[in-house]
Amino acid sequence: MLRAKLSVVCAWSLAGAVLLLPGCSSTPPDQTADWSPNKIYAEAKDELSSGGYDKAVVLFEKLEGRAAGTPLAQQAQLDKAYAQYKSGESAQALATLDRFMKLHPASPALDYALYLKGIINFNDDLGLFSAVTRQDLAERDQKASKESFESFKELVTRFPESRYTPDARQRMTYIVNSLAQYEVHVARYYYGRGAYVAAINRAQVAVTDYQGVPAVEEALFIIVKSYDALGLTQLRDDAKRVLEKNYPQTEYLTRGFKTNTDPWWKVW
């Protein structure tokens, strides 16, 4: 009899536990369930303008689903990418932009998507430059700056009249100068450590790939000095003639390397 009572009690306990489980696992109600797409967009923009980037991303994602197939959904994608970028999620922002450009290749906002993609990589690149100035710079990946350049290049080529094109052109010039100056910095790094062949190779990259930029003058000087250190007088003299022909007023041959207190990547 006692065993039967215990069985009944256990059965009721299990039933109660089962009844309690749904309440414990329930999720909070969606506050935006009854909102119109326009209200969701307004709330998302408010979060974006006030710095609530994570909340803005969530709202823009909801709007993408609610307004699918409309211009508002496209705008939500672009705004989401910007919010992701501002929240420090650059990789996610770039993925969002790539998805947007794939889905909407004829969108009137494509110029902005290209511009924003260029900006994200551009600023990531500057963050790298400022972070590594006190580190070993012998080898660094320049992927971000090159991808930024390609985005800006596509923008100015396909949309020459875009409002974003003038700024993109200036940034392209900056990137080219930065890439050339980077190669020169690495070449100087190798030269200072007696790795003269490596110094010549990196300086040659600046001379060959970035013709006409200010950094080429120092690149040629590094080549001259490296050949001299290696005892290759004929090659040294050839490089010196090229330097003097292209930069007749050069001061490198009389004063040597310049002392500059600015960061090596600051070419403006």
- pLDDT at position 33, please? 80
Q: How confident is the model at residue 75 (pLDDT cuts 50, 70, 90)?
A: very high
Decide: 136 and 149 in contact? Cβ < 8 Å. no
Please identify which residue in the block is written with the tokens 């309690």.
20
- pLDDT at position 239, please? 96
Is it the case that residue 208 has pLDDT exceeding 90? Answer: yes
Decide: 76 and 63 in contact? Cβ < 8 Å. yes
Backbone angles phi, psi at 156, to 5 degrees: -70, -25
Q: What are the sequence ranges of the domains in the chain?
A: 36-90
- pLDDT at position 37, please? 92
* Residue 25 amino acid letter: S
* Interior angle at CA 173, CA 170 and CA 174, nearest 5: 90
* % of the chain at pLDDT higher than 70: 79
Please identify which residue in the block is written with the tokens 């000095």.
225
- pLDDT at position 142, please? 76
The pTM (predicted TM-score) of the whole model is: 0.73
Least confident of 113-127, 171-185, 222-236: 113-127
Decide: 214 and 177 in contact? Cβ < 8 Å. yes
Residue 57 host element (H or E): helix 53-66
Least confident of 102-106, 208-212, 231-235: 208-212
* Residue 107 amino acid letter: S
Is it the case that residue 156 has pLDDT exceeding 50? Answer: yes
CB neighbours of residue 266 within 10 Å: 15
| DSSP assignment string, 120-176 | HHHHHHHHHHHHHTTS--SS---HHHHHHHHHHHHHHHH-TT-TTHHHHHHHHHHHH
- pLDDT at position 226, please? 97
Provide mean pLDDT across the span 241-257. 92
Q: Rounded mean pLDDT of the chain?
A: 84
Decide: 180 and 213 in contact? Cβ < 8 Å. yes
* Residue 259 amino acid letter: T
- pLDDT at position 259, please? 62
- pLDDT at position 129, please? 43
Provide mean pLDDT across the span 134-157. 75
Least confident of 4-13, 21-30, 214-223: 4-13
- pLDDT at position 19, please? 44
**Spatial separation of the C-alpha atoms in residues 146 and 128, rounded to whole Å:** 13
Decide: 63 and 48 in contact? Cβ < 8 Å. no
Decide: 202 and 183 in contact? Cβ < 8 Å. yes
Please identify which residue in the block is written with the tokens 């969002």.
96
* DSSP E strand boundaries for the chain: none
Instruction: Write the CB contacts of 209 (distance below 8 Å, at least 6 apart in sequence).
Output: 179, 180, 183
